[in-house]
Structure 1
């Protein structure tokens, strides 16, 4: 997309006051919507995520904690982030994406229920002696993009407290994002991991935000809560200090009308190939190729499709961009 068009990209008008949680999201850059799913439903997703781990030939068993280690797990990063094996299109993830209460929260945010959903992964960090987390503060919105254009989401499925692994956000940093890149324009084009909407911050750059009142917050949530945050908010994932399970799904929706025809077609191709994309549902349709490595070596096992494919309902096809609203 030419840079001249970035100023006219669709976004949320954050000047409007609603008298509800949207105002807190606009102000702080994040918010926890409580009780989107019942606790029992959240636990059912956790059980199904355990079943997914048991579907691999590495010997993982839910009821045998001696197998709760990387030797018995499929490939993952940062303690428990799963993006390989076409897991983004597992039935368990699509079932969560089509939960009415989750869609309703994003429909309220965007003012429309005609939404696209991201083909994102999940985090299932098992209790273990994890090494201390190295901070990797970043944003998931290109500095050239203006305003609130993407709200990321985490469906939280297990109790998540102050010492558990989870999301850290720099409260209020979204409101200073544009000011930072205006002051330091040379940083805009700094290399990233490949996705044009990923930008990592160095320690002194984070200090710049702290000096202007931004506070690093560990976001806590109960099973069934939905964590939302502005993609301009500095954030990162940390490993647990506790011995508690972390179970989440990364789910994000934006209006279908935001997608260009080119991006919609690309999204449909990725859906048909059962590939994952970025956190963005309507733009930056980007896939990180699976290197098929596990424990640092080529994995002898691979999948060319999800283990359990979702039913292609009308809602699934609309959220994937295959069918029009």
Structure 2
């Protein structure tokens, strides 16, 4: 997206006006329920099914996961974390948020007058007036070492998250992404509607390469906004983008793919009405503890509230989630896994690709230095307060370390 020089250019070139339909999540009672989804709801797999060898005598949970992902390009597993576990993770997210706000306040103060007070969970008005950490499109928070926060590591290494990916890939030797969190507050200016994109390059990676995940911590409603997926859009990949029948769309994708130069993040042409079909654009009303799993070829984005404007709400966190992707260790070579350990030691947040080491902002020396300064401040703060906010390598238990480098490095 850095190739677009202004907000107006972004809006004109890749913001779609299509708004999602909000779908309730209904935990399935039996396998047959997945054949009976309606336009008004979407079936989820109850996590309790992962605690059984089979759903019935003929259909395993692994088969069901792959069937859902092949059919829709995404699946929701409900109840992966309990309400109490979600609340504990939220407390850790607040720990990180306050420290990140303090770091930003300090860095602003070294150059100019800070724009506001530091965030304080005991004074919710500071969410409206305080220094909130810098985010990217959709309120994603990849800086201030967020991928190494205690909240991120608590969820990333949770036994239930491991069980989902172990079932999906049929192996226990997995490495995890080191990406960050999503936190929105009620007086935040978020992205325009419809920044639809895919996270996999159709030229370079034409087949299945990754499943991405998001663990939800707060209720998703039309008043909060949330993740949006385009049902079945993974089936367009890759030919739709390489040989689009419409000449204007084909030119859009050819130019963008040339600009990507092998990278993966690609926006969808807002005039591509086949890809962004209004009836297939849905926002899932996730509950705390729900886990959304999607194919990286599936078109997706996040979406601000469609009903009550944020500003009319009292100051509060309205959305909280942690991004988690896992893949078999064999998909990453030993050099990549070693560099991942170095990223943990430097507390650099990476992308969702567990088999690549691509710190956000690494292409810009100024951004690298800025992120190092943010992390250094938080390290100093946690040392002074004797609390762990960002996890270093030595803070991780053996299982967590294996999620960085695999079991055999």
TM tier relative to shorter chain: 0.7 to 0.9
TM norm structure 1: 0.83
> In the alignment, is residue 223 of structure 1 matched against residue 288 of structure 2?
yes
Q: Which has the higher contact order (CA 8 A, sep 6+)?
A: 1
1:92 deviates by: 2.1
Counterpart secondary structure, 2:229: strand
2:130 is equivalent to residue 88 of structure 1: no
* Alignment-derived partner of residue 317 in structure 1: 401
The answer to whether 1:208 aligns with 2:274 is yes
1:238-265 Cα offsets, whole Å, 9 max, x none, are 2234446100001100000111233223
Q: Does 1:236 align with 2:301?
A: yes
Alignment match, 1:191: 259
For structure 1, the 5+ residue unaligned runs are 1-15
- Report the CA distance shift for 1:21/1:38 in structure 2 as closer, same or farther (over 3 A): same
Question: Going by fraction, where is helix more abundant, 1 or 2?
Answer: 2
Counterpart-to-counterpart distance in 1, 2:365 and 2:219:
32
Cα-to-partner distance string for 1:263-311 (whole Å, 9 max, x where unaligned): 223323322322111111113x2112278999xxx89x72226552432
Matches within 5 A, 1:54-69: 54-55=98-99, 56-57=101-102, 58=105, 59-69=118-128
Residue of structure 2 in register with 1:149 after alignment: 209
* 1:74 paired residue number: 133
Q: Give the number of equivalent residue pairs.
A: 303
Contact 2:138–2:301, Cα closer than 8 Å, also in 1: no
Bigger mean CA deviation after superposition, 267-276 or 87-96: 267-276
Are 2:242 and 1:169 aligned? no
Deviation at 1:165, TM superposition (A): 2.2
Name the counterpart of 1:41: 85
The question of whether the paired residues in 2 share the 8 Å contact of 1:79 and 1:130 is answered with: no
Distance 1:18 1:124, change over 3 A: closer
Structure 2 portions without partners, runs of 5+ = 1-59, 106-117, 245-249, 383-388
Q: 1:274 aligns with which of 332, 347, 369?
A: 347
Q: Point out the structure with max Rg over C-alpha.
A: 2
Deviation at 1:75, TM superposition (A): 2.1
